[in-house]
Amino acid sequence: MNPIESVPTLWDDARDDSFFRVVLHLMDARFLEAASSLLAANDSDLAPTL
């Protein structure tokens, strides 16, 4: 995989908070809410343990 196209696997507050501050003003709030829901649904930290 090309390192330019790789997706970080760890949350970086400095980078990610800045990103979401920018897209907040560029994208519709309903879209961001739906995207956040999809991300949370696939978050292994939030998955129920069986």
How far lies 36's CA from each of 32, 41, 45, 50, in Å? 6, 9, 15, 24
pLDDT of residue 24: 80
**Which residues, other chains included, contact 46 with Cβ-Cβ below 8 Å and sequence gap of 6+?**
40
User: Quick check: pTM over 0.85?
Assistant: no
Spatial distance between the Cα atoms of 48 and 16, rounded to a whole number of angstroms: 25
10-residue mean pLDDT profile of the chain (50 residues): values are 65 77 84 80 67
